[in-house]
Chain A
């Protein structure tokens, strides 16, 4: 008995720690999405003709100040670079650079870090190297996370609304409506979702501006992502409908919609939370897949998916795999964190 208790306590503590780690990672993602402009040293579209496919900038130390050297292309075909050690520029915090909107309101040009120079011409610091057009991969990654997170989160909300509506109607109405809606739900769950998503995607023009692409992704999530939520909602509604407080409400003459919204819905939402959280990585991956395949968000706008197309440049993949695959690592971290949160929620 005693052993059982202590063991239980131990495992609960551990799941708590795991969940905290998960929330930390997700929080970090959210922060980098909100403050993408502040954290990114350069504009995500700014190209540098002299530094295509460059590796990460080496950071040296002169005393305690970090410095970098400008670099020159040594062999443009094999894309090797040499550092010019005769000149050095200090790296500092809160450096002025391109201007952006902080939190969508105030315009500012202060960035978390950057290269200082007195002459105004400074070499660029690329923490994750540059892509084929010489754009800073670190800055692009931050903006990509922002786009993906916004679309994913709104997508989860929309899909939940659709799922709750379908599941609620199905569970409350019963009969033929229930049979039909649950048949559709089962079909939806069994079908090859990504192929269906691509099928829906084929109906729209290939090239889309960023807002349109986001709307399209949301539409696709709403059309294909509701099934699990609907099934869960239906089950919950069916069991709640038999509870005394619902009978009491009905006996008091409360209208059906009021019963649904005031008595049943508030009791469903907590149980839906875990499932809704698990939709986050699903949708994020759908966005990544579509953009990777060139039918989601398109260049020049950065997204986690279209940044990964750089992996098809095999030379670069071989010489700097971690830089090229950094968006994939971000995706992996995010999915892992969300899974950890969900599994500890389920354990409670």
Chain B
């Protein structure tokens, strides 16, 4: 168990180091930053720009800058946003809360679709329900989030005479629904398929032979082993969720991490871009680790194996 956690931790650390180094290098090599835009302003002399460069440490070679940034980042200091003129970490935390709420709502929606539908589908073995489940998987998998978000916007505009006022909770749930569509597809496909597979195992036959009702067989014996792959997928889907939040937040005008990233990119605010990349990759890694941890809690075999 400890070994498993340690391994996950080291893997994640490596991943974050590599990602941050590559992003940093790309941003550095491509040249140009928020300061190079100042060149267009005739009132600012070249000397001023050079001075600002040394203030921000942009005149140092790239590896030096990276290690300085990294050592600051370890202490929780991600530098100052060049565009917003406030510390990056405060900005990211404030916006991350809103995105976290939206993402949690999307997760909740996906689970409320996936769990009962797979249960009913396996319990009653009806071909109609199976066909419906397959259709739902196809539709939710192939409807892009940007389309859903735009439709949500069109609906909310239709619902309310003056667009954005008084309907913030409606808008929130519409956004969460748009964000959750691919999750519904992934969870439903995984859970339904895995439950069907588990129901063919020998221990299910044993449970039935004991005289348990079909519902009890599923709830007490089939759900737990079928849940493991779903947990892996749930951990892995966090990356897509964060990417999707960029779109959903931008379309529906929510102030979250995604919209912050967009404004950072448009302003070429490198400290902010780096901060968000670091934050999101850490969050994704934590999500993966949490998924594996829950699996270990759920499945004694993994716990004992400790690989």
Contacts and interface: CB of A to CB of B under 8 A. Distances in A.
B266 A206 contact: yes
B247 interface: yes
Contacts of A120: none
B261 A311 contact: no
B240 A206 contact: no
B285 A190 contact: yes
A204 B30 contact: yes
A185 to B, nearest CB: 11
B14 A199 contact: no
Contacts of B251: 292, 311
Contact of A203 (B11, B27, B238, B242): B27
Contacts of B236: 189-190
Given A192-B280, A199-B277, A285-B146, A311 B154 contact: yes
Contacts of B167: none
A317 B157 contact: yes
Contacts of B270: 202
Interface in B255-282: 258, 261-262, 264-266, 268, 270, 273, 276-277, 280-281
A96 interface: no
Looking at B14, B18, B138, B239, the one whose CB has the most chain A CB atoms below 10 A away is B239
Interface string B140-177: 01111011001101100110000100000000000000
A77 interface: no
Interface string A186-215: 010111111110111111111000000000
A281 interface: yes
Contacts of B144: 281, 285, 288, 331-332, 335
Interface in A299-348: 308, 311, 314, 317-318, 321, 324-325, 328-329, 331-332, 335-336, 338-340, 343
B243 A192 contact: yes
A194 B277 contact: no
A191 B151 CA distance: 27
Interface in A271-304: 281, 285, 288-289, 292-295
B154 A202 contact: no
Nearest to B11: A183
Contact of A289 (B18, B32, B247, B284): B247
B150 A339 contact: no
Contacts of A250: none
Nearest to A314: B163
Contacts of B273: 198-199, 202
A321 B15 contact: no
B178 to A, nearest CB: 12
B198 interface: no
A206 B32 CA distance: 11
Interface residues of A, number: 46
B157 A198 contact: no
Given A192-B239, A192-B280, A199-B277, A321 B288 contact: no
B262 A198 contact: yes
B217 interface: no
A215 to B, nearest CB: 13
A328 B152 CA distance: 12
A289 to B, nearest CB: 6
A295 B147 CA distance: 18
A292 B251 CA distance: 9
A59 interface: no
A336 B138 CA distance: 8
B250 interface: yes
B154 A325 contact: yes
Interface string B191-228: 00000000000000000000000000000000000000
A195 B280 contact: yes
A80 to B, nearest CB: 18
B265 A198 contact: yes
B266 A292 contact: no
A24 interface: no
B142 A335 contact: yes
A347 B239 CA distance: 28
A317 B153 contact: yes
Nearest to A292: B146
A202 B19 CA distance: 15
B26 A203 contact: yes
A184 B163 contact: no
Interface in B17-50: 18-19, 23, 26-27, 29-30, 32
Contacts of B19: 187, 191, 196
Given A194-B247, A203-B30, A288 B266 contact: no
A194 B147 contact: no
A206 B268 contact: yes
A190 B23 contact: no
B92 interface: no
B15 A201 contact: no
B246 interface: yes
Contacts of A189: 236, 239
